[in-house]
Amino acid sequence: MPPLNFPLARLADEVARLRASTPLVHILTNEVVQEISANVLLAAGAAPAMIVAEAEVADFAAMAGAVLINVGTLYPARYAAMRAAVLAANAAGVPWVLDPVAVGVLAYRREACRELLQLRPAAIRGNASEILTLAGMGSGGRGVDSTDAAEQALPAAMALARQTGAVVAVTGAVDYITDGEQAWATPWGDALMTRVVGTGCALSALVAAFCAGAPNRLDAVAAACAMAGLAGEQAMAASQGPGSFKAAWLDALYQLAPTHLTGQSA
C-alpha cells in the first residue's frame, strides 16, 4: 500500500520545535537561488548564512545547526569548499543535506555527488530523476527538471536511504520521504511552484533547518516538505501568477502556525 500522509499534528510539533530553536543553517547552494533560499528560511523561522570561502567554511560549518550542500552551480573551487564544510560538519556532529541538482545529466556533478555520498549526508532531497541516478537505477532528467514521476522513484529512494543511512525525500506532485524502512507522503503543493525558480532548492534549505537538532529525522524531513507544500497551496489562492506567488509563499510560510495545524485532518 502507498505511504500514509504525514500527520499534521506531527507537522505542528516540528514547526514549534524549529521556531523555538531558530537553527543557524549554513548554505552552500546554487548561486541562482541564494536569495529565495535565505528568505524561505527566515520566513519559516530559521537563520540562514552563506559562507562560501574555502578558508572559512570549515570553521563556520562546525558551529552551524545544519549545512546544505546544493550542487546547482558547481565548479572546482566551490566543490573544494563544499567538501571542507562537509568534513567539518561530520567532525562536529552537524547534520548536512545533499541536493544533487541535475546529477542525472552531467558527469562532473555526478562524480562529485557520488563522492559526497561517501561522506554520509543526514538527508538527501531531489526530484525523481536525481534520486534514481544516485541510487544507480537511472540517468535521466532534462536539465534541472525530472523526466520521471516521484512515485516511480520511491523504491530507489528507499534503496538509497538504506545504502547511505540518509533520509531521502523524492519530490514531485506528491513528495515521498523515507529512511529505507518507513515512508511518509506529503501530497500538498501546487504546480505553480515549478514556475518560480528556486522553490525546490529552497525546500532543501528548509530540510536542513528541520534536521538541526531533530530527534526524529524522518519526521523532520517530512515536516519540511509538508510545510512548503501547504504554504504553496495557500499562496496559490492568493496569487495571480509566478511573481505574486513568490511573495505570497513567503507570507504563507511565515504565517503557518502550529495552532492552525492541530486538529486538522491529513
Mean pLDDT of 11-22: 98
Q: Is residue 171 annotated as involved in ligand binding? A: yes
Domains and CATH numbers, the chain: 4-259 (3.40.1190.20)
Q: Is residue 10 annotated as involved in ligand binding? A: no
- Dig out the grid coordinates for 50 from the structure: 552563506
Write out the E strands in 12-70: 24-28, 47-49, 66-70
Note the pLDDT of residue 261.
85
Note the pLDDT of residue 152.
87
More confident residue, 266 or 22: 22
- How far is it, in rounded angstroms, from Cα 11 to Cα 231? 13
Please report, rounded to a whole number, the percentage of residues in the chain having pLDDT higher than 70.
94
Note the pLDDT of residue 145.
47
Q: Is residue 198 annotated as involved in ligand binding? A: yes
Mean pLDDT of 126-155: 75
Q: Is residue 50 annotated as involved in ligand binding? A: yes
Q: What is the pLDDT of residues 144-166, one digit of tens each?
A: 444 456 788 999 999 999 999 99
**Cα 37 versus chain centre, distance:** 10
- How far is it, in rounded angstroms, from Cα 155 to Cα 178? 10
Which residues share a beta bridge with 99? 70
Residue 59, CA distances (Å) to 4, 56, 86, 94, 156 in order: 40, 6, 11, 12, 35
Note the pLDDT of residue 27.
98
Lowest mean pLDDT among 34-43, 85-94, 138-147: 138-147
Q: Report whether pLDDT(264) > 50.
A: no
Sign of CA dihedral 101, 57, 121, 204: negative
What SS3 state is found at 37? helix
Lowest mean pLDDT among 34-43, 85-94, 135-144, 171-180: 135-144
The backbone torsions φ and ψ at residue 251, rounded to the nearest 5 degrees and listed phi first, read: -60, -45
Note the pLDDT of residue 151.
82
Q: What is the pLDDT of residues 173-198, one digit of tens each?
A: 999 999 999 999 999 999 999 999 99
More confident residue, 264 or 90: 90
Write out the E strands in 90-161: 96-99, 123-127
Mean pLDDT of 47-59: 97
Nearest to 148 by CA among 160, 131, 136, 135: 131
The model's confidence at residue 139, banded by pLDDT at 50, 70 and 90, is low
Average pLDDT over the chain, rounded to whole?
93
Note the pLDDT of residue 259.
86
Q: Report whether pLDDT(2) > 90.
A: no
Note the pLDDT of residue 160.
97
* 101 contact partners, CB below 8 Å, separation of at least 6: 30, 70, 71, 72, 109, 126, 130, 144, 201
Q: Report whether pLDDT(63) > 90.
A: yes
Q: Report the predicted TM-score, pTM, of the whole model to 2 decimal places.
A: 0.94
